[in-house]
């Protein structure tokens, strides 16, 4: 059973930084890609950042230049460094790991709140 455990969320002021971590219960080389998504009430979950097996990254336009996704294979952990946070970044952030497009796993989510 694959488990993903997120941590690092919290309350931060506008313009501040946070680093989210996603610890996997298995070797992350098992996954073709890992990513971070976010969701606010009443809206669909949206992709924030993705990193594939080869290390190629992809970002939502709204976070390009501010967020960085990275992976530490030895620690089975994926990170999301979030800088210059804005009020509109407030959301529950979810870690995702995909073996195929049909076989994916989700963490429980971590709340990020940006205050003015």
pLDDT interval class at 1 (50, 70, 90): confident
pLDDT interval class at 30 (50, 70, 90): confident
Cβ–Cβ under 8 Å, residues 89 and 82: yes
Mean pLDDT score of the chain, rounded to an integer? 96
State residue 59's pLDDT score: 98
Task: Find the mean pLDDT for residues 46-65.
Answer: 96
* Rounded CA separation 76/4 (Å): 10
pLDDT interval class at 101 (50, 70, 90): confident
């Amino acid at each position: 059973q694959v488990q993903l455990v997120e941590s690092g969320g919290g309350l931060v002021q506008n313009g501040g930084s946070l680093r989210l971590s996603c610890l996997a219960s298995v070797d992350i080389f098992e996954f073709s890609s890992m990513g971070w998504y976010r969701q606010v009430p009443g809206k669909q979950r949206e992709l924030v950042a993705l990193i594939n097996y080869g290390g190629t990254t992809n970002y939502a336009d709204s976070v390009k230049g501010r967020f960085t996704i990275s992976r530490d294979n030895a620690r089975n952990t994926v990170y999301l460094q979030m800088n210059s946070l804005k009020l509109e970044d407030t959301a529950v952030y979810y870690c995702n790991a995909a073996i195929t497009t049909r076989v994916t796993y989700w963490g429980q989510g971590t709340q990020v709140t940006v205050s003015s």
